Structure 1
């Protein structure tokens, strides 16, 4: 798959012992969740969110290495796009007009998806409060030609004020669940399973599946802190290890070398300016 991330959290027996009534009530059908269970669920969701953040960074490393050729330039380098400040003019080869033109020149289909940060993010935010400018162009309508997503990791993976335009399905995530079927259940003293959590994915909430290993530590154990990378000692209690394995599938070569679209992978890179 190429990408694997895991994170662990630990709850000590002494912590559970502070909530003996609540811990018992949590097993009763129809009773509200105890504060202990709510705290534990919050810790699981925070860990899962950190896991997805790390996975997102890994995905960008792979995506940055697999950007296709833009037929207008004949290479896969970032193409400069100026978001014109002078709204009395209407240059046909600048701004989002040129991006949409490139999309059609490369014979891409479907609603283009743009992921970026910096100036293009600022530009897209302003479209909510704009009307037609002095040149007669209604830029909010033009911006509706894209499905835009803001991702701060673009700045480190691609560059400042850059964005990637993708044809639908040009980049796909392939997941592998390690603890499904016969691989799940109790193995020795550990429990292996998968579970779903509602996670914020860009501007939407989606159900995301995770692998999990539940381990009981009968005595103090030295573990590595997932955030700081330092060693820490945990007392006896339960350790939950959440993990996810996946890969990024990118179109390698869909056209013959003699085809004008050779090297096209449905992804196009841009750098934005505002002058």
Structure 2
């Protein structure tokens, strides 16, 4: 989703500022939604189960009827706008503002706003976690411990109730040999970051995993893709690790015993 602020100059004082994209005479930003990750609709030409449902959930929350869209031409064939506000305190490495999204805000543009539990509950980010439209995607240093705890509590309730994508999630253990194994026809939904790594690994391996050419080998060959993460353990402790160390691949079965919704990933 792209965002056009009433005053685009307000972004300039934020950490890691990156200039907006310009189309015609209009400046806009592609947003990075804080703390959530949704099933992919078109990553490298491949989509995941529940991607459509998650997309439609965002549109409905914004007051847009997805049934009115011609998805054969979207998004390049038309444009739409709706009022919204964001809370943003910086940019990520790809030049996107990291944002909590609100349908409206009574605060002055550019004001220094504290993200309270009450305000969090009004954001799309929280709504998406609470209703199973999105996974949690936490990054080190991005949130206060209280806000993070509230998001994790909402995620756990959604998962227990099997809301939304939690009816389909197979991240803990799944089998993949080729790209088709991860597409909607098979209904095998996995954590989006793992999906992206599998897609890239399969393309690297020539389209099919084989001994010596699987996800483990891909992460070893391309260390930048081997995400660093911090897992929280008992009594306030932290365990620093990497993605390759928290997954197990035996033949074409991948097991992930760590809950990726509660770890903190470390930005490269």
Normalised-by-shorter TM-score class:
under 0.3
Higher relative contact order (CA 8 A, sep 6+): 1
What TM-score, normalized by structure 1, do the two folds share?
Answer: 0.23
Higher strand share: 1
What TM-score, normalized by structure 2, do the two folds share?
Answer: 0.24
Higher helix share: 2
When Rg is computed on C-alpha atoms for both structures, the one with the higher figure is 1
